[in-house]
């Protein structure tokens, strides 16, 4: 079976969603959607045995083979882990959303179409072997994220957040495309596998560092790394299932996936290791520090997601060091890659459940403001338990999975001190220190999140709704995730063998040949005097102290003025960009079509004539001309007369009819020179356009001198003369010289054998150059819609300009 097609299963299912939503009003649409990720999840589970043996599966769908672009689904440990996350968390989120979104009030048809579109896009990213199709899916996730953030599009904040995330991630995506093209130039292939195999030949190339920076811009914007993270907190305007799914468990991890996937190619570079580790660690600290400042539950989680993504990013950077050490040294550096993948998995479980709890709190109390919440522990015991498990895992405490990966993270950061290349000997000490400080703040915000919401005094009067425990259905998904959090703590090595080690193998190709060679054993206990244990003790001690004294030092955050922040930078950039663009456009957009025609024709004449003469391309070969017939001369005379009539006509009606005459005489030329298809088309077009002109005629002002000066009319004359001369020159020289043999012969030879047709003109339209036709009819359709909307909808626009309803 071609499992590449399964990538498209969600988007195909999305086609049916609107119909199901219309026809089956009584059943929540989510139940139908639910089956898609569940089926895919079960199917992908079957690949585990394959990847545990270090094998890979490939399935190809050719798309544009002539450009080396295809949809190639490639499943190895890394893509399998992500595919399971996407479908597994996806199924839980859909289940959760069934109870979160009301089937009578919400536009579920939109919601699930976007969600399924996202699922396809995400599966496409992690399974694509071809960088161009990867890029395509990458942008599709940005678009579906935009649509989902703006799902409640009547809210100002939703639209703002949607636009912000789109601007930043699409910017990164475009940079990444540049990086991919550079990689394609360097390696002469778009396949990631082939690029990985040739990694050693790419290193010395002059574009290598540039490609790294561009690809990393894509990864950093998507994974909300410093300084691009600012879109993620604003993306929290999305419905909570979306935040849990896109903005914590899957989409924001696409950047991590990209970095992991390209590690074997780029690991040789110093820039790569410094950038990925450094930015990751900075983001880890920054996110955890500012998470404590937030008062919105989802904002706390957003900043904590930013921070955790930074943690995984820094581990990915540190894992590249494995390519620079050998022998016994590998023993201390081998943990980073394992820890990165392991924490990625753990983060998806605990953060997913926390987001769902934040949604439940919002749903049941009507607010997410942590200042209004408190004492919910006794009212919502199940939610509290889940939130407690998730937060403690996030804080890195046993017996939860976050503890294990946090310990491994500390081990990996400590190991960086031992690395001797690239100035790490001097600066290496910074890494464990920053990691430790960030872990302290992580501990603080985890406690802040769970205890300010669930412990303390009950503040029922401050809440918009009477709080109660969430319905059972809504609790299923977070409880499943919380159970996983605990279960993984007790069986880390089974999970490690099944999922993590195959992913490490894929991420560090060339170092291992089989997952079992990844000699990492996860243990919860390192001994009394191990540095990890001491650091954890420190984290708990200092963290608890900071948490208890929070009200004293939280004021520190107010020191930073609002106008001195990255958000203010983004806002002023947008405002300046908009006003600047407006000014620029107003400078040349006069609103008069004749001005625009003037621009176009002037440039056309100057550019073409200049090229013609600079390249010395003007050649006339009189011998190749066909003899001129009497009919030809006659038609030419009619044509010239008709043109003169257009120019000197006193009324517009006469001008329109004369213009029709011009068209018909051109059609006659086609008849004389034996082009029946063209003649036929020209005749009908002329008829229809004269009719169109006559229809629009009533709306046009009377044809009279609008008071143009002599100079203006002379300018018009010069330009029209220029266009005429230029076209004549180009036509003559194009006819007189053939740089390459004419393609006509190929058409003649193949029109019957290859295309089973007899009329070359039509076969060109529908087959040889079908792309042209496809886009032309698209343009035609857009023009039709444009005319319709400009004329029909201009009246209704006056009635309401308020977008917020």
Partner 1 sequence: MKTNDVILQTATKVVFFIIFLFSIHIFFAGHFTPGGGFVGGLLTTGAIVLLLLAFDLKTVQNALPFNFMIVTAIGLLLALGTAASSLLFNIPFFTHAFDDVYLPLFGVSALHTAMAFDAGVYLVVVGSTITMIQTIGGDS
Q: How far is the CB of 693 from partner 1 (least distance, A)?
A: 10
Q: How far is the CB of 780 from partner 1 (least distance, A)?
A: 5
Query: Which of 252, 250, 231, 248 minimizes the C-alpha distance to 358?
Result: 248
Residue number, 430 or 680, with CB nearest to partner 1 = 680
Gap between the Cα atoms of 426 and 509, Å rounded: 29
- 8-state DSSP, 621: -
Residue number, 425 or 691, with CB nearest to partner 1 = 691
- 3-state SS of 280-310 is HHHHHHHHHHHHCCCCEHHHHHHHHHHHHHH
Residues 6+ apart with CB under 8 A from 782: none
Q: How far is the CB of 783 from partner 1 (least distance, A)?
A: 6
Dmax over CA atoms of the chain, in Å, equals 108
Show the tokens assigned to 402: 């976050």
- 8-state DSSP, 155: S
Gap between the Cα atoms of 433 and 316, Å rounded: 18
Angle between helices 108-127 and 131-149 (to 10 degrees): 160
Q: How far is the CB of 684 from partner 1 (least distance, A)?
A: 4
Gap between the Cα atoms of 723 and 310, Å rounded: 59
Residue number, 399 or 757, with CB nearest to partner 1 = 757
Q: What is the DSSP string of 25-61?
A: -SS-THHHHHHHHHHHHHHHHTTHHHHHTT--EEEEE
Q: How far is the CB of 771 from partner 1 (least distance, A)?
A: 7
Residue number, 554 or 762, with CB nearest to partner 1 = 762
What angle (nearest 5°) sits at the alpha carbon of residue 73, between those of residues 113 and 180? 90
Residue number, 62 or 629, with CB nearest to partner 1 = 62
Gap between the Cα atoms of 628 and 594, Å rounded: 36
Residue number, 27 or 782, with CB nearest to partner 1 = 782
Q: How far is the CB of 667 from partner 1 (least distance, A)?
A: 12
Residue number, 649 or 680, with CB nearest to partner 1 = 680
Q: Can you point out the beta strands (E) in 493-564?
A: none
Residue number, 66 or 378, with CB nearest to partner 1 = 66
Residues near partner 1 (CB under 8 A): 2, 60-66, 676-677, 680-681, 684-685, 687-688, 691-692, 695-696, 699, 755-759, 761-763, 765-767, 770-771, 773-774, 777-778, 780-781, 783-785, 787-788, 791-792
Q: How far is the CB of 402 from partner 1 (least distance, A)?
A: 43
Gap between the Cα atoms of 347 and 581, Å rounded: 42
Q: How far is the CB of 8 from partner 1 (least distance, A)?
A: 9
Gap between the Cα atoms of 36 and 344, Å rounded: 24
Gap between the Cα atoms of 607 and 609, Å rounded: 6
Residue number, 727 or 781, with CB nearest to partner 1 = 781
Specify burial of residue 160 (Cβ count, 10 A radius: 0-12, 13-18, 19+). middle
Beta bridge mates, 95: none
Residue number, 425 or 780, with CB nearest to partner 1 = 780
Q: How far is the CB of 4 from partner 1 (least distance, A)?
A: 9
User: Using an 8 Å Cβ cutoff, are 258 and 222 in contact?
Assistant: yes
Q: How far is the CB of 166 from partner 1 (least distance, A)?
A: 25
Residue number, 491 or 787, with CB nearest to partner 1 = 787
Query: Which of 14, 237, 222 minimizes the C-alpha distance to 119?
Result: 14
Query: Which of 127, 125, 103 minimizes the C-alpha distance to 24?
Result: 103
- 8-state DSSP, 269: -
Residue number, 611 or 688, with CB nearest to partner 1 = 688
Q: How far is the CB of 39 from partner 1 (least distance, A)?
A: 20
- 3-state SS of 324-356 is CCCHHHHHHHCHHHHHHHHHHHHHHHHHHHHHH
Q: How far is the CB of 117 from partner 1 (least distance, A)?
A: 16
Residue number, 740 or 795, with CB nearest to partner 1 = 795
Q: How far is the CB of 800 from partner 1 (least distance, A)?
A: 22
């Amino acid at each position: 079976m071609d499992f590449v097609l399964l990538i498209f299963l969600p988007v195909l299912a999305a086609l049916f969603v609107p119909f199901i939503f219309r026809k089956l009003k009584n059943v929540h649409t989510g139940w139908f959607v639910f089956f898609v990720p569940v089926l895919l999840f079960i199917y992908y589970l079957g690949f585990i045995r394959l990847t545990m043996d270090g094998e890979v599966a490939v399935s190809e769908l050719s798309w544009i083979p002539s450009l080396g672009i295809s949809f190639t689904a490639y499943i190895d440990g890394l893509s399998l882990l992500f595919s399971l996350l996407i479908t597994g968390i996806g199924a839980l989120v859909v289940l959760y959303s069934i109870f979160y979104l009301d089937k009578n009030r919400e536009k579920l048809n939109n919601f699930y179409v976007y969600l399924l579109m996202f699922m396809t896009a995400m599966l496409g990213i992690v399974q694509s072997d071809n960088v161009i199709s990867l890029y395509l899916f990458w942008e599709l996730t940005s678009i579906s994220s935009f649509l989902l953030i703006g799902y409640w599009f009547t809210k100002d904040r939703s639209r703002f957040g949607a636009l912000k995330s789109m601007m930043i991630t699409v910017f990164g995506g475009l940079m990444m495309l540049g990086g991919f093209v550079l990689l394609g130039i360097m390696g002469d292939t778009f396949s990631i596998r082939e690029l990985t195999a040739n990694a050693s030949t790419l290193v010395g190339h002059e574009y290598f560092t540039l490609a790294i920076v561009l690809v990393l811009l894509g990864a950093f914007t998507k994974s909300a790394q410093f300084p691009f993270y600012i879109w993620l907190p604003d993306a929290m305007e999305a419905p909570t299932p979306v935040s849990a799914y896109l903005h914590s468990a899957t989409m924001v991890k696409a950047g991590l996936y990209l970095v992991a996937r390209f590690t074997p190619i780029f690991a040789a570079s110093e820039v790569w290791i410094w950038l990925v580790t450094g930015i990751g660690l900075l983001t880890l600290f920054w996110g955890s520090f500012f998470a404590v400042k937030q008062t919105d539950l989802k904002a706390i989680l957003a900043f904590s997601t930013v921070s955790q993504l930074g943690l995984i990013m820094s581990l990915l950077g540190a894992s590249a060091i494995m390519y620079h050490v050998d022998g016994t040294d590998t023993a201390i550096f081998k943990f980073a890659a394992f820890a990165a993948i392991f924490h990625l998995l753990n983060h998806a479980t605990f953060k997913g459940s926390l987001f769902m709890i934040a949604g439940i709190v919002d749903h049941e109390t009507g607010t997410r403001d942590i200042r209004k919440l408190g004492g919910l522990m006794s009212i919502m015991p199940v939610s509290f338990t889940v939130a407690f498990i998730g937060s403690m895992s996030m804080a890195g405490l046993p017996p939860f999975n976050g503890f294990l990966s946090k310990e491994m993270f500390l081990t990996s950061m400590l190991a960086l001190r031992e690395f001797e290349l690239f100035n790490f000997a001097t600066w290496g000490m910074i890494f464990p220190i920053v990691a430790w400080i960030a872990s302290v703040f992580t501990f603080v915000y985890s406690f802040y999140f769970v205890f300010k919401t669930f412990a303390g005094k009950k503040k029922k009067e401050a809440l918009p709704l009477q709080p109660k425990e969430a319905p059972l259905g809504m609790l299923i998904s977070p409880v499943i995730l919380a159970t996983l959090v605990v279960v993984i703590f007790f069986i880390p090595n089974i999970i490690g063998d099944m999922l993590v080690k195959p992913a490490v193998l894929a991420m560090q190709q060339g170092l291992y040949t089989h997952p079992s060679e990844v000699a990492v054993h996860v243990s919860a206990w390192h001994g009394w005097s191990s540095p990890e244990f001491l650091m954890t003790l420190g984290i708990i001690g200092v963290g608890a102290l900071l948490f208890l004294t929070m009200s004293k030092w939280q004021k520190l955050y107010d020191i930073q003025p609002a106008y001195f922040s990255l958000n203010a930078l983004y806002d002023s950039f947008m405002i300046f960009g908009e006003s600047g663009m407006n000014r620029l456009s107003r400078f040349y957009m006069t609103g008069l079509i004749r001005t625009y025609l003037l621009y176009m024709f002037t440039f056309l004449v100057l550019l073409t004539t200049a090229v013609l003469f600079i390249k010395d391309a003007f050649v006339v070969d009189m011998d190749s001309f066909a003899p001129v017939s009497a009919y030809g001369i006659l038609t030419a005379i009619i044509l010239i007369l008709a043109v003169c009539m257009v120019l000197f006509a006193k009324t517009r009606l006469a001008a329109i009819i004369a213009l029709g005459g011009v068209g018909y005489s051109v059609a006659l030329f086609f008849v004389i020179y034996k082009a029946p298809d063209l003649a036929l088309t020209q005749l009908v077009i002329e008829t229809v356009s004269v009719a169109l002109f006559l229809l629009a005629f009533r709306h046009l002002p009377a044809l009279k001198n609008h008071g143009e000066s002599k100079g203006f009319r002379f300018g018009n004359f010069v330009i029209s003369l220029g266009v005429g001369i230029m076209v004549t020159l180009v036509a003559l020289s194009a006819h007189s010289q053939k740089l390459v043999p004419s393609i006509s012969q190929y058409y003649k030879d193949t029109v019957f054998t290859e295309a089973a047709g007899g009329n070359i003109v039509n076969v060109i339209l529908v087959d040889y150059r079908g792309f042209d036709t496809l886009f032309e009819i698209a343009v035609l359709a857009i023009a039709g819609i444009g005319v319709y909307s400009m004329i029909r909808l201009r009246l209704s626009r006056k009635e309401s300009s308020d977008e917020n309803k």
